[in-house]
Amino acid sequence: MQQTNLTINGQEHALDADPRTTLLDALRNHIGLTGSKKGCDHGQCGACTVIVNGRRINSCLTLACMHDGDEITTVEGLGQPGNLSPLQSAFVAHDGYQCGYCTPGQICSATAMLQEAKDGWPSNVSDDLAKGQKLTDEEISERMSGNICRCAAYPNIVDAIREVAEGAEA
């Protein structure tokens, strides 16, 4: 067993777990935060996306013990019923889900993606790599391409993200 100190959604946790435990399993099975979902468990679907030190990662592809001292945000840390984050509210308003299984990962991913775009990071479809890009539907789809939705709620997911992106630009 190995102890790992994690700050999750602003709260400190001393995790005592087998060093082979993935961050996703630590969150769900040891800490009881079941918002992050296990879709494929090998980096293909994005359902397990969380934000670590400001960057989105697939929590199924990393070991919890590699994150000693890190700051982790899960969907539970973005907002709660009655106090939703702008993206959480926009997903509700635009019906950005059907079964909802991919939704926590979509929302964590989109939250970090909006910051990446704000910081001027280009994507594979950006015209000018030196400049930040307006978040067109093509840009949003490309930047969110690591998050798969089996229900194919993509048009509504893009609508929700575009609304928040445009609000942030205004």
Q: Give the residues lining the site for ligand FES (CB under 6 A).
A: 38-41, 43-48, 58, 60, 97-103, 149-151, 153
Measured over the CA atoms of residue 70, residue 74, residue 79 and residue 81, the dihedral's sign is: negative
Contact assessment for residue 95 and residue 154, using Cβ atoms and an 8 Å cutoff: no
Minimum distance between the CB of residue 167 and ligand FES, rounded to whole angstroms? 23
10 Å Cβ neighbour count for 159?
18
Q: Of the two residues 114 and 160, which places its CB atom closer to ligand FES in the complex?
A: 160
50, β-bridge pairs: 57
Q: Of the two residues 44 and 53, which places its CB atom closer to ligand FES in the complex?
A: 44
**C-alpha–C-alpha distance, residues 60 and 24, integer Å:** 5
Minimum distance between the CB of residue 57 and ligand FES, rounded to whole angstroms? 9
Minimum distance between the CB of residue 149 and ligand FES, rounded to whole angstroms? 3
Q: Of the two residues 31 and 48, which places its CB atom closer to ligand FES in the complex?
A: 48
Minimum distance between the CB of residue 115 and ligand FES, rounded to whole angstroms? 20
For 165, the token pair is 């992106």
Q: Of the two residues 58 and 123, which places its CB atom closer to ligand FES in the complex?
A: 58
**C-alpha–C-alpha distance, residues 168 and 158, integer Å:** 15
Q: Cα 152 to chain center, whole Å?
A: 18
